[in-house]
Chains A and B, each alone.
Chain A
């Protein structure tokens, strides 16, 4: 199995190195920086709106090692959120306007306290609890086989990645055998009622391009996915979210190794859409890392760009201070504002 950048001592495991690559070269000579670009339409600095979504990263451990992973997750990553930090997250939900909990990782299900945490969050009456499940984890080991039922019991909203409706493309990005296992998992989820037309058990898929190109029209892709999945496997799901790959971590490594970095950054800048800026996900979301630090989004978390505020840890959460912060931006933000825009919930403009 492939390994994470951090296990192979790849220089890009160092976030400073990533930021250096993003800052230099073409952004000094040919392309405007993201900050310059949003200044053109008086959208600098980006300020947060009302906090609505808490995205919690339960750890970087994952049963997969996808080629594009912005988390650099994998079986060799040991970072895991503790119960103490989870309790701090629950306290935060109590004292804020958060209505959506977005649990991610790695594979969030691999955190040993995952089920406990979900059950507690349900007790708190959070409106929408999203679990970003990579699907294969549901078939990886017997101890996870009852998860579809667990999700159903707690009416969890599932959001799962699927780069293509064909085996070849999916396995190339996410690993040999991932497509078949994902199909099995989707069938299991359909069996308990997830994703069926009219079902309140929400099952959405996330599509991200399997290479150095941008996602096409979200609606058209959803149509093609639905047609192929229904005809080939009798599988149903609700919506498809198209997400642009951000040039960080393993995807950045791939872009550089395949000599696509410059073209890709040009493509992102060419597709820049000022209308997407107002709705990028950092404006209503806070991201909490496995060790309790606060970030504007999961991408900033992976670049170790903590919130620009003296309230940087969940143990010292201060609503006023955070409301007044400026969101930390860098060249990777072009990924959120290309074309129709892109966030964890798909297009934004």
Chain B
């Protein structure tokens, strides 16, 4: 049977990336942990940002992880979906705004 590229159980092995490059791996996880600490933004706000970005990055591992993280924090599904829409709006806006570049180019090249 063919195996899919993504396997949900692989998320549990994420920590193993330090195996082949201990120093860089550990530096990454230290940084990661620091980023998600309560700061000027609450850990709850950070979780919702992470969820939105997980969608725009289309990372199935991060989507699973931050959906679960949101549930653990008591974040409701309505809040989660709004965050995903924020991500989607920025992503489509970012696509569309490049249309200006296209328009500029057309205007420059056309007589």
Using CB atoms and an 8 Å cutoff, list the residues of chain A in contact with chain B: 164-166, 168-169, 207, 209, 211, 213-217, 220-221, 224-225, 263, 266, 270
Contact = CB atoms under 8 A, between A and B. Distances in A.
Nearest to A163: B74
Interface residues on B, range: 10 to 19
Given A266-B12, A270-B12, A224 B71 contact: no
14 contacts: A168-B76, A169-B76, A207-B74, A209-B71, A213-B72, A215-B72, A216-B69, A216-B72, A217-B73, A220-B44, A221-B73, A224-B44, A263-B8, A266-B12
A214 B69 CA distance: 9
B22 interface: no
Interface in B64-111: 68-69, 71-74, 76
Contact of B73 (A166, A211, A216): A216
A169 B70 CA distance: 14
A216 B68 contact: no
Residue of A165, A211, A216, A225 with most partner-chain B CB within 10 A: A216
A220 B73 contact: yes
3 cross-chain pairs, A with B, having the tightest CB-CB distances, nearest first? A216-B72, A216-B73, A213-B71
B43 interface: yes
Contacts of B8: 263
B12 A209 contact: no
Contacts of A166: 76
A220 B43 contact: yes
Contacts of A221: 73-74
Contacts of A216: 69, 72-74
Given A213-B71, A217-B43, A221-B74, 15 more contacts: A169-B76, A209-B72, A213-B68, A213-B72, A214-B72, A215-B72, A216-B69, A216-B73, A220-B44, A221-B73, A224-B44, A224-B74, A225-B74, A263-B8, A266-B12
Contacts of A214: 72
Contacts of A224: 44, 73-74
Contacts of B74: 164-165, 207, 216, 221, 224-225
Contacts of A266: 12
B10 to A, nearest CB: 13
A48 to B, nearest CB: 31
A227 to B, nearest CB: 11
Interface string B13-41: 00000000000000000000000000000
A168 B72 CA distance: 16
Contacts of A263: 8
A215 B72 CA distance: 5
B67 to A, nearest CB: 9
A131 B71 CA distance: 28
Contacts of A209: 71-72
Nearest to A164: B74
A270 B72 CA distance: 15
A166 B75 CA distance: 10
Nearest to B73: A216
A199 B8 CA distance: 49
A217 B36 CA distance: 14
B51 to A, nearest CB: 14
B39 to A, nearest CB: 14
- Chain B CB within 10 Å — which of A207, A225, A263 has the most? A263
Nearest to B38: A220
Contacts of B71: 209, 211, 213
A217 B46 CA distance: 14
A189 to B, nearest CB: 22
A144 B68 CA distance: 39
B70 to A, nearest CB: 9
A216 B73 CA distance: 5
Interface in B43-57: 43-44
A221 B72 CA distance: 9
Contacts of A215: 72
A145 B54 CA distance: 49
